Structure 1
Amino acid sequence: MNCKTSRLLIFLILFAGTTLPTLAQKTLSSLNQTLRYSRYSRLSLKIIPIKKSETSFKLQFQIEKIEENPEFNSFSFTYSILDSYDEEILSDNTSILTSEDLKYNTDRHWVFEKTIDIAASKETSIALFTALDTRQGDEYYYSIDIKSSFVFDQANFGAYYANNVGFDQTYLNVGESLLFKSNGGPNLHGFYYPTSLEIPYPPMETKPASVSRETQVIDQGDFLELIPKSFDEIGYYFIQSDTNANAGLILKTTHEAFPKVRDWDEMVDMVAYISTRKEHESLVAAEDKKKALDAYWIGLTRNEDTAKELIREYFRQVEFANILFTDFKEGWKTDKGMIYIVMGPPQEVNFYLDREVWSYGGTNESSRIRFTFARVKNILSPHYYTLNRSRAYQPVWFKNISIWRSGKMAF
C-alpha cells in the first residue's frame, strides 16, 4: 500500500464507519485543543495567511518538529475552510495534505502552501489545520480567522527565516534578522515601540487595570523587502506595507536568553505570582538578588533539594508561557501566561469566535473550573485576549499557590 493510499484510508476512517454519528457533529468550537498548550506535544502547528488580492489568500501550513527526527508517515494532515466556529467539520470542507503537497522539508519544519479564494461578500472564514498522530491517535489543531469581525485585514506580506520558511515564533531575539516578501510594492514600513509592560492583576482582582501612560512610538521609516532586516532593540515592532491601512505584522523582540530567564532581577519579577506582597517587596529591595532569592526558595520549602526542583519546574512553566503566549507582551506577563504558570496546562481548551475557554479538574460540570479569555479587537494582533476576572477564582487560586509554595507543582 503506498503512502497516499494509506493516508486516504486514515481520512476515510475519520469521516466514516461507526464513528460517523459523533464526528458528524464535530465543530471547531467543540474540538478540545489542549495539545496546543501541552508540555509534551510532539508537534506545533501554525497557519500563516498572506493576502494576495481582495478574494485570494495564500495559507502557509507549518509544522514545527518538536519530537526528534519524526517520520512524516507517522502523521496525517488535513485542513478545512469553515464559515463559522459552529459549522460541522465534514469531508466536504476538508482536504488531505500528503507528501506530494510539501513545499519545504527542513530539519525543523514541514511546510505546506495552499491558495484559497474567499468571496468578498463573505464576512467570516476560518482555516483549521489538523495533524493526527497515527501511532497513538493524538489530534493537534490550529485555527485562524482569515476574515471575521475580529480581524481588520490580512497583511499582503510575510516574514521569513533565511530558508524561506515563514516566521512562526511569537518572539524574535534581539539582533536577529528576518526576510520580508510582499505582494505589494518593494517598500515596507516599520514602527518601533520601546515599551515594557506590567504584569497582570490576579484572576480574582476585579478592579480595572491601570491605564498605561502614552506609549512612545518611533517611526523607523521604509525598508526594502527581500533584504534581511535586523531588529536590534527590545520592545515590539509593527510592520506595514501601507500605513493608511489597518493590516500589519507585530514582532515582539526580547533579550538573547528568552524564552528562558535572563538574570536575577527578572527572576524576582517572575516570582510575583506565588509570593506575598511583603515577600516580593523585600526581594525587589534586596541589594544581592541571588542571595535573597536563595533564601526565599529555601524558606518556602525548608529543603534545599526540594527548592532546586521547585525552581526548575516553576521557571519551566515560565519558559513555556513565553513560547506559547508572547504577543506584544512577554508570554509570562499575559493573562494566559499567568494562568498557565500557576494552574498548569489546561485539561480542555475550546475556541469560539469571541472567546477562548480553559477548563481544569473536576469529574462533572459543577466541579470544573473554567477561565474565559475574551477576545479583543486589536490592530496589533487578531489573537489578543483578556481574562474575564471574578472573585469566585480566589479559593482555587490561593490553593494552587499554596501547593506551589509547599514545593510541589499544582498539576
Structure 2
Amino acid sequence: MTTTSISSKFKLFIGLLILFIGIPEYSHSQQNLASVNQALRYSRYSRLSLKIIPIQESDRSFLLQMPIEKIEENPDFDDYIFSYTVVSSYQEAITDEKMMVLTEEDLKYDTQNHFFFEKKVEIPMGQEFAIALLKVSDRRQGDEYFYHIDLISPFIFGHPDFGAYYGNNIPFDQSFLVQNEALLFKSNSVINLNRFYYPAKFEAPFPAMEIKSPPVSRQVEVEYEGDFLINTPRSFEKEGYYFIQSDTNSTKGLMIKTAPESFPRVGNWEEMTQMVVYISTRKEHESLLEAADKKIALDQYWIGLTKNEEASKDLIREYFRQVEFANILFTDFKEGWKTDRGMVYIVMGPPNEVRFGLDDEVWSYGSMDSNSKINFTFTRVKNILTPNYYTLNRSRALQPAWFKNITVWRSGKMDF
C-alpha cells in the first residue's frame, strides 16, 4: 500500500470521526428551558434580577414588560447582551436565531435601579403553549441569566389586562409591597378595577421528609373593598394579600402581597422565634414560643447551639440573611420563608442546579456526579393567585441530607 493511499484513508477516517463526534456535541449544545441551569436566578451573588410581566391585550396578543433590576452598582449596559423570545414548549431548542437582541435603542427606561424593555408578541392561532423567555448574558465572565413565564398553558388562568407601576413608571416587579405604599394602575381597555382583601395568615410548612399532609383551611376569608378608578395611585394599608380584577366574572387578576415595613428582613423577636423552627427541635421551639421574654430566650438559644458568643452572632447573621433571601425570592400569598421553596432554600442553601419543566422545578445540591447529588422536586400547582405556586414532593429519602445540613447549621459552620 502506498503512502498516498494511507494518507487519504487516514484523512477520510479523521473526517468521519469528526463528523461522528460532532453530531452529539451539536445536539448537546442545544439549550431548551428544560435543560438550561437557572441556578443564577436564586444565587446570592447575582448581578441582575430579571422579570417578565405579561399584559394580555387579547386572547393571543401580549405586551411583555421586562424590568431588569440592577443589583450590581452602576452596571454598564454594554457589559451585557439582552435578548428575548417566545417558545412553544419547554423542550423547544433556544437557538441564537430565535433570540431577539435588545439594544439600548429598545430601552423604554433606564433608571437608577432598572433597565426596562417592552415588546408586543402575537401567538399564532392553534399554538397550544407559549412561554416568554428573557435571557441576559454577562460578557465579562460568561454568566447567563434566564427568566421565563407561561403566556398560554394549563397552569395559566389568564393574565391581567392592566398593569401596576411604581411612581417612576417602572412596573411593579417585586413579590411583595410594603403596607401603605401606593401603586399606579394603568390600562387601555378598562376604567375601573375591583379590589378584594384576604387577611389570611399561614403556618410554616412541614419538613422535607414529613409525608403526612398539613391541615387545610376549608374556608378562606375575603373582603370586597369596592372598585377604584384606573390611572390613580392606590395604597394598600392592611397586611395580608389583595386580588385586583378588572372583571369579577373572570379568573384573571393580579395578586399583591402586603408586608410590614421591615420586610423582607425579620421585624421583631416574636418573628425570630417563629423563623428558627427549621433548625430547632420541637421542644426547643415550643420553649421559645412560650417564653415571656423572647429576646433573652433567643440569646440563650443561639449561644446554646454554638457554645460561643461570637460564633452565635455569625450564625444569627447568616441564618436571617437566608430568611431575607427566601422572602425576596419566594414570597407569593405567603411570606417567602413559609413556602416550601423558601424552607428548602433556608436549610439547604442556594441550589447548585435549577431546572424547570412545565409542571415541576427541580433543585440539585452537591457534586455534578449523579451518584452524589441530592434532588428536591417541587410540583407546580394551578393557582388563581399566582402562576408560580410550587409544593415540595416530600420523601423520607431526603431525611439524611436534611438532618446533615441542620447539624451544620446548629454547629455554626454553615457558609454560603
Question: Normalising to structure 2: TM-score of the pair?
Answer: 0.93
In the other structure, the counterpart of 2:30 is: 25
Equivalent residue, structure 1, for 2:9: none
Q: 2:253 aligns with which of 248, 255, 262?
A: 248
Q: Indicate how the Cα distance of structure 1 residues 363 and 81 shifts in structure 2: closer, same or farther if over 3 A, else same.
A: closer
Asked if the contact 1:342–1:410 (Cα under 8 Å) also holds between the matched residues in 2, the reply is no
Pick aligned residue for 2:393 from 384, 388, 391: 388
Corresponding residue to 1:45 among 33, 46, 50 = 50
1:246-269 deviation per Cα after TM superposition (whole angstroms, max 9, x unaligned): 111111000110000010000000
Q: Does residue 1:137 correspond to 2:162, yes or no?
A: no
Counterpart amino acid of 1:201?
F
Amino acid aligned to 2:165: Y
Q: Aligned residue for 1:219?
A: 224
- Secondary structure of 1:284 counterpart: helix
1:180 pairs with 2:188? no
What do residues 62-85 of structure 1 show as CA deviations (whole Å, max 9, x unaligned)? 110000011011000011210000
Q: Percent identity?
A: 62
Residue 377, structure 1, aligned to residue 368, structure 2: no
Q: Which amino acid aligns with 1:146?
A: L
- Contact residue 362 and residue 376 of structure 2 kept, 8 A: yes
* 1:9-408 alignment runs, 5 A limit: 21=26, 25-408=30-413
> Aligned residue for 1:12?
none
CA RMSD of the aligned region, Å?
A: 1.5
Assess if the C-alpha contact under 8 Å between 1:237 and 1:252 holds in 2.
yes
User: How many residue pairs get matched?
Assistant: 395
Find the counterpart in structure 2 of residue 14 from structure 1. none
The answer for unaligned runs of 5 or more in structure 1 is: 1-16
Matched-pair contact (CA < 8 Å) for 2:376–2:393: yes
Q: Which amino acid aligns with 1:316?
A: R
Q: Report how far residue 320 of structure 1 moved.
A: 0.2
User: Any idea what SS the aligned residue of 1:76 has?
Assistant: strand
Q: Deviations over 1:91-129 (max 9, x none)?
A: 332100000100000000000100000134322000110
Report what 1:11 is aligned to. Answer: none
8 Å contact kept, 1:123–1:149: no
Where in structure 1 do 4 or more consecutive aligned residues deviate above 6 Å?
A: 17-20
Label 1:154 to 1:176 Cα distance change in 2 as closer, same or farther (>3 A).
Answer: same
Name the amino acid aligned to 1:84: S
Q: Output the amino acid matched with 2:282.
A: R
Counterpart-to-counterpart distance in 1, 2:23 and 2:229: 55
- Larger radius of gyration, structure 1 or 2? 2
> In the alignment, is the contact (CA less than 8 A) between 2:318 and 2:415 conserved in 1?
no
Give SS of 2:173's match.
Answer: coil
Structure 2, unaligned runs of 5 or more: 1-21
TM-score, length basis structure 1 = 0.94
> Could you report, residue by residue, the CA deviation over 1:275-325 in whole angstroms, capped at 9, with x for unpaired residues?
000000000000000000000000000000000000000000000000000
Q: Distance in 1 between matches of 2:359 and 2:240?
A: 28
